[in-house]
Structure formats: C-alpha cells, structure tokens
Copies of this chain bind each other. A is one copy, B any other.
Amino acid sequence: MSNVGKSTNILWHNCPIGQSERQKLLGQKGCVIWITGLSGSGKSTLACALSRELHCSGHLSYVLDGDNLRHGLNRDLSFKAEDRAENIRRVGEVAKLFADAGTICIASLISPYRRDRDACRALLPESRFIEVFMDFPLEICEARDPKGLYKLARTGKIKGFTGIDDPYESPVNSEIVIKMVDGECPSPKAMAKHVLCYLEENGYLQD
C-alpha cells in the first residue's frame, strides 16, 4: 500500500500476463517511436506511412497524434505553457501503456521542449523510447504550411507558435534523424523505411 502523487492507499496489481507474453503473441517488442519536429515537418505523414509499412509486415502499431488526442483525453488542455507540458506528459504516459501492451506506439507531437521529451523518455526502460527528429528547416515547413498556421502566426493571429514566437529545442541525441538528402525532402515511404530499418536492425520486429 502506498501513497503516490495525490493518491493515498493504492496498491499495484500485477497480472500473470505481462508485456513479455503479449510480445510473444505479437512477435514484436513494445516500444514508443516519438516523432518530434516543427509544424509542417511531416510528423503525421511519417506516422501514417510507418503505420502502413508495419501493418503490411504483420506488425501492430498505433498512432497517438497530438492533435487527435486534443479531441478526447486532452480536450481540457489549452496551448498555454503548462497545458502543453501536461499534454505531452499524458501522451508520454499513454504511449508507455501502449508499449507495455506490446504495441509499437507512434507518438506524433511537436513537443518543442527538450525537458518534456526527456521526461517521456524517462518513463520507459532504456531502448524502449526511440526519438525521431524531423530535421527540416523552418523555411521548408513554413512554405508547406499544410494547415495555414504559419500564416496565422506571422500575422499575429496565433501567439506562441513554435518556430515563430516560441522556440523549438532541437534534439541532440535522437535515435533517428530524418532530413533533406541532396537538397530534396525524402518521400513518406522513404522516411518510413528509414525508421523500419532501424526497428529491424535493433530487433524490435521479433520477440
């Protein structure tokens, strides 16, 4: 019996079926693939393409999309600083549950601050958190502007927009960096293959 956070008298229940049993069933290792980068850097595109590649090779993955979660679990959170941190914390905690379930969990969030990303990494055992940095210049992302948000930020209609009037702290030790090759942006499929190769080479796609 213990006190944790704001809860008193709570007990940890262990089940006989744990992560290792579920991994055997699925033939893969549960992990979190955390895709970080500016708005318009292709996070959702990579998440979907990777999910498709994994599915085609018989692997179970699940995408946690920052925007989508704001329709449900995180609908009580705004974009002010403390709510953004709480948003990322919750996604990290849910991603951890999905990894524990044996799933390859693909989290796709701007997650601009190193501190928040590292807090999510620290939730998981070593090697279960794979950071993917979408390393594209602001100009490229802003030129794409798929949601028209940069335009709104430049005209002051959105405040605190990452890359414009709020910082993006680039990762320094990401497991995977996706960037331009010979001045060209890689295709969705090429980006997905890049991550897939990492997963294969590091034994995630077998139990």
Contacts and interface: CB of A to CB of B under 8 A. Distances in A.
Interface of A: 1, 4-13, 15-17, 21-22, 25-26, 44, 47-48, 51-52, 55, 58, 60-65, 67-68, 70-79, 83, 90, 93-94, 96-98, 100-103, 123, 147-149, 152, 158
Q: Is the interface of A mostly helix, strand, loop or mixed?
A: mixed
Contacts of A65: 13
Contact of A7 (B6, B61, B75): B75
A70 B5 contact: yes
Nearest to A91: B73
Copies in the complex: 2
B94 A26 contact: no
Given A73-B90, A90-B73, A123-B72, A6 B78 contact: yes
A73, A76, A77: residue with the most chain B Cβ atoms closer than 10 Å: A73
A41 B7 CA distance: 21
A78 B7 CA distance: 5
Given A7-B75, A15-B48, A60-B102, 15 more contacts: A4-B70, A6-B78, A7-B77, A9-B147, A11-B147, A12-B67, A15-B51, A16-B48, A16-B51, A17-B48, A17-B61, A21-B55, A25-B55, A72-B123, A73-B97
